[in-house]
Every structure is written in structure tokens, then in C-alpha cells.
């Protein structure tokens, strides 16, 4: 399997052949469906309605020019459909999904039901692809006008496999006999694809033979530091496991993917041999002349076993005098396991239940204090318990989706990192704070004369490339010119740089 995975990554001929086969199958199905569509009104031309279907923020495969995603269920992508006047606002939109292997195709959610401002959107999440095969997935859309005219089209996306493999799956170590001698360490390196900052990583090993001293970040390579225990011989098996997200936890409309279908692992076997025991002049074992000082736990907050004695941070007696270590835990909002019992802050119910920081996360104070008060992994507006809780100033949390009147309050109500018009769910809603009324237009500005940044990209009206050639002056219909002003006698700042006609160096 390792050879096959590496072959796919390095052998361009094999890669292109796999993409060609999968693309051909999907296109054949798509064309078959396209040929069978007959508009109810034969006077309409079905090829003129749908301008295109676009993936936002994806890379492009240089060999096929198709958008590419990594099959890790970590990153979703917005699918945008553009139509012309053939499909007026209010036309019904239906999205669907298919592919060569439906088991790793993915799911669509937050899909538009109707055309708004000539556009419709859906969010696509690829499923974990552990098949060692490049998947070609088709995203199809069918649009129906109020009078019954219907048209369908589709686009494709490559979902690449993820993998994890040890650069060396075996090693041999000789460890010192004496307990206080300098221990033997080794760095294990794993090659990965599609796992950067994705998934939950865990490492299993035999603690009687040694300890893990450091774990590198999830990326193209993952490193693990291993320190063998002095005097301990045997076979050490180190297994690194990464569990990818369950699509059902990303959005409830996505199906549940079993744990086995989203778990990937790699193993290294280390043969550990104890070195020769030092002896004195009479032949007795003598460890008094060991090399180097006895190590101590130098850092008490780094999550590492610095002295390789099997105890980490506050669990190590060397840290007893460090003020961050508390027995019992008294500081319940610092994100640290102060008493080394395995429970952090509010999760430590024995010590923190009466601290004033911990309790049901369901009122204004606990929904705005940046603390996970109920230890469920969700903070403030991320927590379902805070849904519709007013946290002050007329601001309320909205669990899961930011909608309606909350699209103009300049606050991230659903705690997803997106504010107001940056949200797909705010498309078509009033996004201007205060008494004004200017609509959000997700990812593509259409209203170019309203003095409002409708798509929240930091560019307003004629400064936005989406507005090039569009009406930019509400009084006389002068048009926007993105980047360079060439209309130099219309009394309008066409490129939005603050300079009009002859005052602009472009003229």
C-alpha cells in the first residue's frame, strides 16, 4: 500500500490515467442526463441560462484544470452558481452530488433553495478518502423557473486521497544500562498528505520501554521524539493514529461516517537492546561513574516529559515548587491542568465547580466571558446552550447559523469566524448596520452604487473587481472601471480611487 501511495504522488502518468478514467465516467453520466432534459417551454434555449458553477477557494490541478480538494473532511468549500435573466430571482434551485465511488463523494449543506441576485450557493464537504484512489466527484444543479422551464448542469472536483506512512518503519537502539546515564533518543518521521492541521492525533507505545518527548505539528511531515528508558530492553511498537472529523459533526445533514472509515495510522517497530553494564575493578556492576548530571523537569507547562522519567509537567515532583502547579486546582480559567489529574479548568469538577467560572453556559455572563464554563468543548456563542442568549447591547448568539436581523450587527453571532455579510447564510439579508438597508451579496458584489461593501471583501462599489463595467453612480448611471479610469469626462470617479476625470493620473 505504501508503494502504491507513493507511486500516485510521484508518478504523473499513473495520476493522469486515474483522473482520465474517473472524469470520463462522470462526464458520460452527466452528458447522458443533459441529453435527456427537455424544457417545458421549447422557445427557451437551455444552454443560455446557467452561466457557470464555481468552487470558491480551491486549488487547480495543473494537468486537468479541475479544482482539487483533499479528502480529509476538514475543509468545506462554497459552490457558487451564476445564472442570467433566463432564471429570474425566485427560481427553484436543487443541488445534487455524485461520483465514481459514492462512499467518498461528500455532502452538500447550507444550499440555496432559490435564485437570489442571479446566484445560488451550497457548501460542499469532501468525505475522508482513504481509498488510495483519486476520486472525481460531480456537483450538479437543476434550476426551475416559476413558469416551469428547467435546466441542469454540473461541474467536477478532484478529491485526493490522504495517507500517512513512516519513512522508516523499523529501528534498532542500544540503551544505557545505568539509570542516570544520558538516555538514548531518536526522531521518527512520517510522510503525510492531506493531513495538515487536520484530525485528532494520538500516539500509542509501551511506557515501560520509553516515553514520547515531543510531537511535531500535522503537516506534510510529522515528527515524533522518542526517548528509550535506560536499562529497558524489548520490542517497542509506536503507532501514530489520526482520526479525521465525522462529517455528521460538521453539519447535521451530512451522514455519519464510521470511525474505521476515517481513521488512518502508521507504525514503527524499535528493537531496544540494553548496553553492557559498567563494572568496577572487582567485576561488580558500578553505575557511580555515569556520564552527565541527573536530568530534571526544566519546563512545567510544555506538555513534555523533559527528564524522561515518565512524569509530565505538574505530575513530576520536580515541578512541586512551580506556582502554576496547584493541589487542588484553584485557577480554573487558564487552560492548564494545574493539578495533573487529567482535567482542565471546568472539566475538573472536583476542584472548580464552585470557582465562579464554571456552570451552565446559558446566560449573558457565561456566554461572553471566553471561558468554556460547562467543559463541553464549546465557548460562548459556539455553545448550543447560548443559542438566542442576549449578551448585551442587543447582540445575541445564534448557534450554527447567523441569519436575519443579526446580519447587520457587526458581530460573529455563530462564532464561526465570519461576520455578517461574510456569511453565506446572510446572502440577501440586510447587512448595513443602523437604519440603512443594503443587502449582503455573498462572495460577489452586484449592487455597485450603494456605497456599501455588500460582499464584505473590504472593497466597496467601484473598488471591487466584481463591479467592473457595472452601474456605479446612482444619479446618472456612470459605470465602474476597475483599476484604471478611461472615462475622463463623465464627472464620476470610475475606479473609486478618490480622483475624478482630469484629476486622475490615469486620464
Give the residue-averaged pLDDT of 29-37.
32
Whether the predicted pLDDT of 35 surpasses 70: no
Does this model's pTM top 0.85? My answer is no
Same fold, 2-160 and 163-294: yes
Q: Classify residue 105 by its DSSP letter.
A: S
In the chain the first and final C-alpha atoms are separated, in Å, by 63
* Whole-angstrom distance, CA of residue 145 vs CA of residue 43: 14
Sorted by sequence, the CB contacts under 8 Å of residue 300 that are 6+ apart come out as 313, 314, 316, 318, 319, 322, 324, 325
* Whole-angstrom distance, CA of residue 379 vs CA of residue 388: 15
Instruction: List the chain domain ranges.
Output: 2-160, 163-294
Strand partners, 201: 242
69-80 per-position pLDDT tens digit: 888 888 888 999
Per DSSP, the three-state class of 380 is helix
Sorted by sequence, the CB contacts under 8 Å of residue 333 that are 6+ apart come out as 345, 355, 357, 371
Give the residue-averaged pLDDT of 69-93.
89
Mean pLDDT, the chain, as a whole number?
82
Whether the predicted pLDDT of 39 surpasses 70: no
Q: Model confidence at 356, in pLDDT bands (50, 70, 90)?
A: confident
Q: Nearest to residue 81, comparing CAs of 52, 107, 113, 110?
A: 52
Name the more confident of 302 and 441.
Answer: 441
**Is residue 272 within 8 Å of 205, Cβ to Cβ?**
no
Whether the predicted pLDDT of 419 surpasses 70: yes
Whether the predicted pLDDT of 281 surpasses 80: no
316-355 per-position pLDDT tens digit: 888 888 888 988 888 888 888 888 888 888 888 888 887 8
* Whole-angstrom distance, CA of residue 251 vs CA of residue 399: 12
Domain spanning 2-160: which superfamily? Answer: Immunoglobulins (2.60.40.10)
What pLDDT does residue 458 have?
92
What pLDDT does residue 500 have?
92
Cell numbers representing residue 34 in the block: 443533459
Q: Under CATH, what is the fold of the domain 163-294?
A: Immunoglobulin-like (2.60.40)
Whether the predicted pLDDT of 29 surpasses 60: no
54-73 per-position pLDDT tens digit: 887 777 766 667 888 888 88
Sorted by sequence, the CB contacts under 8 Å of residue 167 that are 6+ apart come out as 189, 190, 191
Give the residue-averaged pLDDT of 213-219.
77
- Give me the phi and psi of 267, to 5 degrees please: -130, 140
Q: Model confidence at 401, in pLDDT bands (50, 70, 90)?
A: confident
Whether the predicted pLDDT of 400 surpasses 60: yes
What pLDDT does residue 95 have?
93
Give the residue-averaged pLDDT of 400-429.
90
Which whole-number Å values give the CA distances from 400 to 119, 140, 365, 397, in the listed order? 23, 26, 20, 9
Q: Model confidence at 143, in pLDDT bands (50, 70, 90)?
A: very high
What pLDDT does residue 496 have?
92
What pLDDT does residue 476 have?
75
Name the more confident of 334 and 497.
Answer: 497
* Whole-angstrom distance, CA of residue 263 vs CA of residue 244: 6
Share of the chain above pLDDT 90, in %: 36
Amino acid at each position: 500500500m505504501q508503494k502504491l501511495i507513493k507511486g500516485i504522488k510521484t508518478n504523473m502518468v499513473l495520476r493522469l490515467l486515474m483522473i482520465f478514467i474517473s472524469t470520463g465516467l462522470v462526464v458520460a453520466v452527466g452528458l447522458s442526463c443533459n441529453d435527456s432534459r427537455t424544457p417545458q417551454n421549447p422557445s427557451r434555449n437551455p444552454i443560455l441560462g446557467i452561466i457557470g458553477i464555481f468552487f470558491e477557494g480551491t486549488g487547480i490541478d495543473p494537468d486537468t484544470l479541475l479544482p482539487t480538494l483533499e479528502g480529509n473532511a476538514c475543509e468545506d468549500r462554497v459552490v457558487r452558481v451564476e445564472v442570467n435573466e433566463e432564471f429570474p430571482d425566485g427560481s427553484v434551485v436543487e443541488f445534487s452530488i455524485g461520483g465514481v465511488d459514492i462512499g467518498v463523494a461528500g455532502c452538500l449543506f447550507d444550499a440555496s433553495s432559490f435564485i437570489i441576485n442571479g446566484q445560488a450557493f451550497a457548501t460542499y464537504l469532501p468525505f475522508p478518502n482513504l481509498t488510495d484512489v483519486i476520486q472525481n466527484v460531480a456537483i450538479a444543479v437543476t434550476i426551475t423557473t416559476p413558469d416551469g422551464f428547467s435546466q441542469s448542469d454540473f461541474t467536477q472536483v478532484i478529491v485526493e486521497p490522504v495517507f500517512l506512512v513512516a519513512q522508516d518503519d523499523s529501528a534498532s537502539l542500544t540503551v544505557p544500562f545505568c539509570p542516570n546515564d544520558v538516555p538514548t533518543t531518536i526522531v521518527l518521521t512520517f510522510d503525510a498528505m492531506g493531513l495538515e492541521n487536520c484530525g485528532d492525533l494520538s500516539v500509542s507505545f509501551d511506557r515501560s520501554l520509553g516515553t514520547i518527548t515531543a510531537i511535531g505539528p500535522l503537516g506534510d511531515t510529522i515528527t515524533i521524539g522518542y526517548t528509550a528508558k535506560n536499562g529497558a530492553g524489548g520490542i517497542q511498537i509506536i503507532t501514530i493514529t489520526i482520526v479525521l472529523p465525522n462529517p455528521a459533526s460538521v453539519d447535521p445533514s451530512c451522514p455519519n461516517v464510521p470511525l474505521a472509515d476515517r481513521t488512518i495510522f502508521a507504525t514503527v517497530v524499535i528493537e531496544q537492546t540494553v548496553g553492557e553494564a559498567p563494572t568496577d575493578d572487582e567485576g561488580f556492576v558500578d553505575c557511580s561513574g555515569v556520564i552527565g548530571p541527573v536530568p530534571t523537569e526544566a519546563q512545567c507547562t510544555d506538555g513534555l516529559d523533559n527528564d524522561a522519567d515518565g512524569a509530565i509537567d505538574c505530575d513530576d515532583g520536580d515541578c512541586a515548587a512551580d506556582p502554576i502547579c496547584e493541589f487542588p486546582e484553584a485557577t480554573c480559567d487558564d487552560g492548564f491542568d494545574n493539578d495533573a489529574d487529567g482535567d482542565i479548568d471546568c472539566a475538573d469538577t472536583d476542584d472548580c465547580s464552585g470557582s465562579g467560572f464554571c456552570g451552565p453556559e446559558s446566560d449573558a455572563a457565561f456566554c461572553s466571558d471566553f471561558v468554556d464554563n460547562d467543559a463541553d468543548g464549546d465557548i460562548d456563542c459556539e455553545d448550543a446552550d447560548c443559542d438566542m442568549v442576549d449578551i448585551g447591547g442587543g447582540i445575541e448568539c445564534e448557534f450554527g447559523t447567523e441569519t436575519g436581523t443579526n446580519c447587520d450587527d457587526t458581530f460573529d453571532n455563530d462564532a464561526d469566524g465570519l461576520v455578517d455579510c461574510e456569511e453565506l447564510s446572510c446572502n440577501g439579508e440586510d447587512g448595513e448596520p443602523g437604519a440603512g438597508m443594503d443587502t449582503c451579496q455573498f462572495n460577489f458584489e452586484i449592487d455597485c452604487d450603494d456605497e456599501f461593501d455588500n460582499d464584505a471583501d473590504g472593497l466597496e462599489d467601484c473598488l471591487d473587481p466584481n463591479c467592473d463595467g457595472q452601474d456605479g453612480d446612482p444619479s446618472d448611471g456612470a459605470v465602474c472601471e476597475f483599476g484604471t479610469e478611461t472615462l475622463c469626462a463623465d464627472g464620476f470617479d470610475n475606479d473609486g480611487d478618490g480622483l475624478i476625470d482630469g484629476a486622475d493620473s490615469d486620464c
